[in-house]
Structure 1
Amino acid sequence: MKAKYIYKCLMIAFAALLLGSCSSPEVDSKFDENATDRLSGRQKELNDLLLSSADGWKAVYYTDSTQLGGWTHLFKFLPGGKVDMASDFTGKDGEIDTKTYQSQYNIQLGSTVSLVFSTQNRIHLLSDANNYPTAALLAKGYLGDFQFYYYGEKDGNIIFRTNRNGHFLRFVKATPKDWTDLPGNVPMIKNITGDMNSPLFRLLEINDGTATKNYDFSYNASARFGTGYSIDPAVNTSYDLALSFNPGGVYSKLPLDVKGQKLTDFLYDAPTNSFVATGKDGVKATIKYTNAPPRLTDNYKVTLPAAGAPSTAYGYIAANLSAAPTNSQLCMYLLNEINNASVAKVNRVQFTFYNNRTVDIMYSFTGGKATVYHRATVTEDAVNKTIILKHSLWHNGTSVIAADALVKNLDDKLMDPKGLYVTRESFRITYSNTIYTFTCASSSFRITTYAFQ
């Protein structure tokens, strides 16, 4: 009993001591003070680091490499909470502003120490919810942050973790060359995005050292993200590339794995206007343009009604289809060229294919200009899966007339000697009519039409 009594007394005394320690204002104050001192020390450590690099810091910011590429940012931190910043972000208008802008930053104390870019600058373009690169990111923007949690220094780099999704972001010491090279990213961005005259289609060509396979490369210039889909319907393989840019080409954070070799650096080859990643033993991957659709179909046969069959018709209607995403830049340029030349505006461009292998291309206008027709013969190119239109005559519905000079540049594209690809699209616009596009085989011209049968 005595031993039990002594044991019980000891336990009561220990509990009282423990409770007294936990509730002691002196101990609580000392613990808080240590935590504050520790965070304050980290705050000073980060600020000193930011100011320590004479040429600032560089970060290639991938906000989410599963669906977005990367954006290069340069920061020069200055006393007084100021920062000079530049980036290669592409604006809504397609322009890329690499100029340097000054704003404010501060280092906040919370559960940890964080770097906050407190006034508007280039980094905020990635966090603007109203500016989003894909439909999936509606109201989410580019998933970017302007607050970064400090995790420490490693190998001379500053390591942060993003506030929004917890990804690590590394600030690397910048050099004078990084600042002068940044504008050099712009030509590479434009080379892979293309312009009005660039071919409409892209291929990802992969050579494993013994054989070459082609993939339809779908690239979103705003997201800087592309996916190569196997052209062979029997092969269910695709490759994602999350791209960032440099003056020599592009880098993919998602490696392209070819026979165990991980290809990430695609160098720009000016003579072929392509980006090439080269491995060992003949392994190579190339991103390149092509005028031919990667997947050829028999859709063109709808323009070849059999003898005795009704005619088929397909029409571009400006009021409904001028904003169709499948109209190419070149198509819109040529339509606007006509519209800006006089009071006449293109109302409709319509193909009517007859069962005797002829077609009437109708051009109708608002503004008082009469409708004109270009009649042509239709030849099937079964190998290349195109139709070739050859001039017969111009008419106004009742009489033969001279060629209409106003529509010449647009009409010349439809008379492409190499032919037109015809594609049945899977989407609809305003009405239930099936959408067909007509694409030149030798240029970037593509026009969107409704089917009228």
Structure 2
Amino acid sequence: MKIKNIINYLLVAIMAIQLVSCDNKETLDSPFKGTPTDRLNAREKELNDLLMSSEFGWKAVYFTDNTQLGGFTHLFKFKDGKVDMASDFDNDTSIASSEYDITLGSTVSLLFTTKNRIHLLSDSNSFPTADLRGKGYKGDFQFLYYGQENGEIIFRTNRSFEEVRFVKAKATDWADLALGRLMIPNVIGAPTRPLFRLLETNDGTKVSQFDFSFSSASRFATSNSVETGSSVTNNIGIAYTPTGIIVSPSVKVGNQELSVFTFDAATGNFNAIGAGGIKASIKYSNKPLVLTDDYKMFLPGNPYFYYGFTIDDYIQDAPTNSSLFFTILNQTNLDLPSGKKLTDIYFYFNHPTRGSYIDYYFENGSLIRHNITVTEDAINKKLILVNRNFQSGGAVPAITLIKNLDDQLINVDGIYIKKEKFKAYYSNDVYTFTNATTPFRISTWKLN
């Protein structure tokens, strides 16, 4: 063999030895011990051991989408592939058993493999609002494991990548889960208290007010600043606790974020207290925070418009309908004969030949018409609806059977009218009629 070839072979051999040496050094110096599979297996064991390490299991307040939904409290007790679970999704807060698994993919995840309470949030056939039809409560039942922090397990949901934290549960959490649901009527607002709600914040130098409208179906509140020119909102998802509520996102007041509100039974307020005098309260008001001129288009001399509320239609889900309205409506239908239940309430203003009137429609096709005169309380920005007479068509129930409902609209105290910012499924504008002195409020679609 020529000397030149021998030298070339020697150079190649030396380079190969150096490459192997470097590779071995990198392996020895690598911060990642073992193969990727080994590391995933170790992570799998870490999570499973962690899930079973808490004596009373884990608690998670799961906000599936806090731009339109509130939070749902879940309790978990893990043991060798089995999980005992309870939630406050509905009145059934009992414990149910099912199976779970720790799965390996691009990362380690907790998967609830058989149906349990957590799956109620992912059922597309169960939805709280028309906008969520086919989406359910946007929940998940697979949670990607992202480690621990201050004793909490950090997950992100597989579908939407929302962060969910498991905190160690206490024995009282299981006992008190049902108590949280007793807070719901307090958030909705008691019928015996003033109708109007507001969120008020105080940063120590300035008090700001926001209107407050809550939907119990979605556990979500819309809250917009009432200050002229301000576009600040505090729209929040709400989760119930035995002593109050948790909100997400937090309400920012000054440089602090407040998320835990405690219920005060004496006033009906929910209060969150920060440091240095910073606080926020959800409270009641005896009149609307802002009196609008929306009522003026209903006065005589304006164009003809009509508005409708239909039972068992999307307008019934409007968060502005009050519990007193539904109480009176339901009682009215209980008192009506079979086959003659009330189905629709329509308001007509400035009809070219009939003037203004309210029609009550019944399921047998009959109706009661209440002809009215419309006047103005310009100082308080209200309409006063004054009785003219009743008419009826078909085999209608006795007029006295709708009296309690009708009296909330036709009275000397008048009604406030507001054009809402939201829609009730359809593109029609929504207008709300509110009794000026009682917690009665009905929302309607503008129909022409």
TM-score in terms of structure 1 length = 0.77
Cα distance, 1:383–1:70 mapped onto 2, change above 3 Å: same
1:278–1:284: 8 Å Cα contact kept in structure 2?
yes
Q: How do 1:102-121 and structure 2 match up within 5 A?
A: 102-121=97-116
Specify the alignment match of 1:249 in structure 2: 244
**Aligned partner letter, 2:60:** A
Cα distance, 1:99–1:17 mapped onto 2, change above 3 Å: same
CA distance in 1 between counterparts of 2:246 and 2:425 reads 40
Specify the alignment match of 2:83 in structure 1: 83
Specify the alignment match of 2:340 in structure 1: 344
Specify the alignment match of 1:237 in structure 2: 232
What is the Cα deviation at residue 215 of structure 1? 1.1
1:291–1:444: 8 Å Cα contact kept in structure 2?
no
- Does 1:122 find its partner at 2:117? yes
Q: How many residues align?
A: 426
Deviations 1:235-261 (A, max 9, x none): 232234343332111223433222223
- Does 1:418 find its partner at 2:416? no
Specify the alignment match of 2:379 in structure 1: 383
- Does 1:10 find its partner at 2:6? no
1:314–1:436: 8 Å Cα contact kept in structure 2?
no
2:129–2:317: 8 Å Cα contact kept in structure 1?
no
CA distance in 2 between counterparts of 1:374 and 1:227 reads 34
Show structure 1 runs of 5+ residues with no match. Answer: 23-30, 90-94
- Bigger shift: 220-229 or 45-54? 220-229
1:68–1:225: 8 Å Cα contact kept in structure 2?
yes
Specify the alignment match of 1:50 in structure 2: 51
**Aligned partner letter, 1:102:** S
Specify the alignment match of 2:441 in structure 1: 445
**Aligned partner letter, 2:115:** Q
Cα distance, 1:196–1:96 mapped onto 2, change above 3 Å: farther
2:84–2:98: 8 Å Cα contact kept in structure 1?
yes
**Aligned partner letter, 1:410:** L
CA distance in 2 between counterparts of 1:192 and 1:288 reads 10
What is the Cα deviation at residue 447 of structure 1? 4.9
- Bigger shift: 333-342 or 295-304? 333-342
CA distance in 1 between counterparts of 2:22 and 2:206 reads 74
- Bigger shift: 379-388 or 359-368? 359-368
1:373–1:396: 8 Å Cα contact kept in structure 2?
yes
1:321–1:429: 8 Å Cα contact kept in structure 2?
no
Deviations 1:11-38 (A, max 9, x none): 455348869999xxxxxxxx99855444
SS across alignment from 1:235: coil
**Aligned partner letter, 2:120:** L
SS across alignment from 1:230: coil
**Aligned partner letter, 1:54:** E
Pick one of 279, 294, 304 that aligns with 2:299: 304
What is the Cα deviation at residue 366 of structure 1? 5.9
* Aligned residues with identical type, % of pairs: 46
- Bigger shift: 33-42 or 409-418? 33-42
CA distance in 2 between counterparts of 1:9 and 1:435 reads 88
2:198–2:283: 8 Å Cα contact kept in structure 1?
yes
SS across alignment from 1:185: helix
What is the Cα deviation at residue 102 of structure 1? 0.7
Deviations 1:53-85 (A, max 9, x none): 221111222334455443221111124x21100
Deviations 1:356-393 (A, max 9, x none): xx965454556486x555455544222221122345x6
Q: How do 1:13-162 and structure 2 match up within 5 A?
A: 13-15=14-16, 35-79=36-80, 81-89=81-89, 95-133=90-128, 139-162=134-157
Specify the alignment match of 1:25 in structure 2: none
CA distance in 2 between counterparts of 1:147 and 1:432 reads 36
Q: RMSD value over aligned CA atoms?
A: 4.2
1:439–1:446: 8 Å Cα contact kept in structure 2?
yes
CA distance in 2 between counterparts of 1:430 and 1:110 reads 40
Specify the alignment match of 1:27 in structure 2: none
What is the Cα deviation at residue 117 of structure 1? 1.0
1:321–1:448: 8 Å Cα contact kept in structure 2?
no
SS across alignment from 1:192: helix
1:210–1:282: 8 Å Cα contact kept in structure 2?
no
CA distance in 2 between counterparts of 1:449 and 1:241 reads 25
**Aligned partner letter, 2:154:** I
What is the Cα deviation at residue 321 of structure 1? 7.0
**Aligned partner letter, 1:87:** S
Specify the alignment match of 1:277 in structure 2: 272
Specify the alignment match of 1:163 in structure 2: 158
Cα distance, 1:411–1:140 mapped onto 2, change above 3 Å: closer
Deviations 1:266-307 (A, max 9, x none): 11112222211123444321113446444322222233315x
Cα distance, 1:152–1:211 mapped onto 2, change above 3 Å: closer
What is the Cα deviation at residue 201 of structure 1? 4.6
Q: How do 1:254-333 and structure 2 match up within 5 A?
A: 254-290=249-285, 292-306=287-301, 312=304, 314=306, 316=308, 318=310, 323=315, 325-326=317-318, 328=322, 330-331=324-325, 333=327
**Aligned partner letter, 2:376:** E
What is the Cα deviation at residue 101 of structure 1? 0.8
2:140–2:159: 8 Å Cα contact kept in structure 1?
yes
Deviations 1:149-172 (A, max 9, x none): 334444443333432344443322
